[in-house]
Chain A
Amino acid sequence: MASYTRSGRPRPQSSGFELAVWYLMRLSGLALFVLALGHFSITHFIFDPATQTAQWIIDERWGSVLWRTVDWLLLTMVVLHAFMGVRTVVQDYTTGGARTLLTMLLYLAGIALFLMGTIAVMTLPFPVK
């Protein structure tokens, strides 16, 4: 297992992909501090889950391009952060072929989920006024 410091994964000493991922986790983490906590607050504190029917999402939450854009940004950040985070977990506990296989499956699942979410937020019809 990789060694961990008082904070998180130590900054990779080499440049390149691993260093880029290290920065990506921190930058997307900062974005998610606002986007994810904001999203949870809207869906649980400002509105109650019981009221958020499909019709309500069509009419209210996704009735504006701005909110769809905010939710798509959240999707982008969360897919990057969550899948690269689980990639670190996979790399901590596996080696060799299993590591390669699981990492590739993870990337495929991440791309698939990103496409599904993007299609969902972009193709839902706007309410007829």
Chain B
Amino acid sequence: MLAWAFHRISGVAIWAFVLLHVLDIWLVGANRGLYDEVLKFYASPVGRVGETFLGAALLYHALNGLRIIVMDFWPAMTVFHKQLWYASWVVFVVVGLPGAYIILRPIWAGAS
């Protein structure tokens, strides 16, 4: 149930970002100056925290989605649904923590 709820919440959040993201990329050709203004927000500390949450949503949705696909096309694996869920969290932490560090580092390194 929790796996399903997280999958749904992260999915809707990514959908909302995709709406925004196609619009901002549209600006590269339509209004270059405005695009660069939007980029300043993406590169700001608040923007970076937002991107960290976006990356977390994307990574969780991708890993849990893979778990769903495995069980759908290899039903015998459904017995191990809990182990697969825990394994996806291990990958989430191992990949996600260094990823979050790379995205957030410029905030205190002052590079942005």
Residues of B within 8 A of A50 (CB): 39, 43, 106, 111-112
Residues of A within 8 A of B58 (CB): 36-37, 40
Q: Which of A4, A44, A75 has the most CB of B within 10 A?
A: A44
- Tally of contacts, chain A with chain B, CB under 8 A: 112
Among B53-78, those with CB < 8 Å from A are: 54-55, 58-59, 62, 65-69, 71-73, 78
Task: Please give the distance in Å from A54's CB to the nearest CB on chain B.
Answer: 4
Chain B residue nearest to A121 in the complex (CB): B25
Is B94 engaged at the interface, CB distance under 8 Å to the other chain? no
**Complex-state Cα separation, A120 to B35, whole angstroms:** 13
Instruction: Categorize the interface residue count of chain A.
Output: 35 or more
**A54→B23 contact, CB < 8 A:** no
Q: Which of B19, B48, B69, B99 has the most CB of A within 10 A?
A: B69
Instruction: Categorize the interface residue count of chain B.
Output: 35 or more
**Complex-state Cα separation, A85 to B99, whole angstroms:** 26
Is B4 engaged at the interface, CB distance under 8 Å to the other chain? yes
**B39→A82 contact, CB < 8 A:** no
Task: Please give the distance in Å from A30's CB to the nearest CB on chain B.
Answer: 6
